[in-house]
Amino acid sequence: MSNLSIAIVGLPNVGKSTLFNALLGKKVADASNYPFCTIDPNVGVVEVPDQKLPVLGDIVKTNKIVPAIVEFVDIAGLVKGASTGEGLGNKFLTNIRDCDAICHVVRNFADPNIIREGSVDPQGDFEVICTELIIKDLESVDKYLSSYKNNPKESKTKKFAFASKLKSELEKGILTINMVLDDEEKLLAREFFLLTNKPYFIVANVDEDTYLNIESWNLKIENFATVVPVCAKVEFELSELPKDDQINYLKELGVTSSGLERVIQKAYSTLGLQSYYTAGVKEVRAWTIPIGSTAPQAAGVIHTDFERGFIMAEIVSYSDFVANNGWEGAKTKGLLRHEGRSYTMRPDDIVEFRFNV
């Protein structure tokens, strides 16, 4: 698949731009204390933290390591009424359409010095943004229904019937991603480019004290299973420290992984993604694929010709590769597998593809 793109969305002053800067490890977005300090969306590319890559690099003696990457898009703060042009409205809802997933940022910190916009709690933050996405999708569906309601041919199609169902469900406040749709309806939903059909997860921007009790932390929000707690302020401070100091700082806070790692892990699980690896003298690289991808599909991520001309995949698990010091050692032990077109890729696969050009 192409690079993963995630829209960072939320009300003004919930910490979106501070989080964006922390994820990138540098100050890119304006994080001033007033609504709409971000106007044009900031876009940044982040390497996916992966401890396996340097290990593989040492084994195959390469100087080139290429991690998987994630693109984050810092969308301007939305407000109630954005779908009808309030605040900076429609322009930013359109920017979300270009992303693969939505990262909802909600405020879970108390600071009277930071202006609060729109709601009074995390659940309220989330619901305000979801409402605007729903209204925008209703606008798209209504436009289609109005255009074709007097067209005898189109009004009798499955698409028209599905649009009517969509309208009814959206009016109930249900996100498309939460609707029960059959396979055909899922395909039809793509034709409407629905904002509410985007996979999402929630980042709760917490205060520093919360990190000290993170294991017992909870949030009064219905979608708690999708939530990642992150202190954007701490993460930005962390991003400015040397690597060793970062590790020590996290230990002091009682956190085993950085916010960046947890956000990306949640993004991968939300979108059903995993990585596999290629490892040679020229480079060691992580490739991102959907869970359940076959070997030819995984090869196609490298180049479409690899999928078309796929012959087989030579595969060693990461643990076997490391334990036997690379390809030759694993092959000598009989741990090198030859897999065909029906093979389903695993997260720790080290692969060489054989193909006809």
11: nearest Cα among 44, 45, 36: 36
Angle between the N-to-C axes of helices 16-24 and 232-239, in degrees from 0 to 180, rounded to the nearest 10: 30
What span, in angstroms and rounded, lies between the C-alpha atoms of 1 and 68? 11
Report strand pairing: 337-339 vs 310-317. antiparallel
107: nearest Cα among 34, 222, 204, 208: 204
What span, in angstroms and rounded, lies between the C-alpha atoms of 48 and 247? 17
User: What pLDDT score was predicted for residue 87?
Assistant: 43
Domains, the chain, in order of start with CATH, read 292-355 (3.10.20.30)
Sequence-distant (6+) residues with CB within 8 A of 326 are 59, 60, 279
Task: Please give the C-alpha separations between residue 327 and each of 285, 310, 332, 340, in angstroms, as whole numbers.
Answer: 15, 21, 9, 19
Which residue is listed with tokens 């709409």? 36
Per-10-residue mean pLDDT, the chain, length 357: 80 81 60 37 82 96 92 73 48 78 85 53 88 91 93 90 96 94 93 94 86 76 85 82 84 81 89 95 95 96 93 97 97 97 96 90
Answer for the pair 34, 79: CB distance below 8 angstroms, yes or no.
Answer: no
What span, in angstroms and rounded, lies between the C-alpha atoms of 132 and 138? 10
Dihedral sign computed on CA atoms, order 185, 91, 126, 256: positive
**Neighbouring C-beta atoms of residue 184, cutoff 10 Å:** 11
User: What pLDDT score was predicted for residue 287?
Assistant: 95
Print burial letters for 117-128: b (CB count within 10 Å at least 16), e (below 16): bbbeebeebbbb
User: What pLDDT score was predicted for residue 90?
Assistant: 55
Q: What is the 3-state secondary structure (H, E, C) of 219-286?
A: CCCCCHHHEEEECHHHHHHHHCCCHHHHHHHHHHHCCCCCHHHHHHHHHHHHHCEEEEEEECCCCEEE
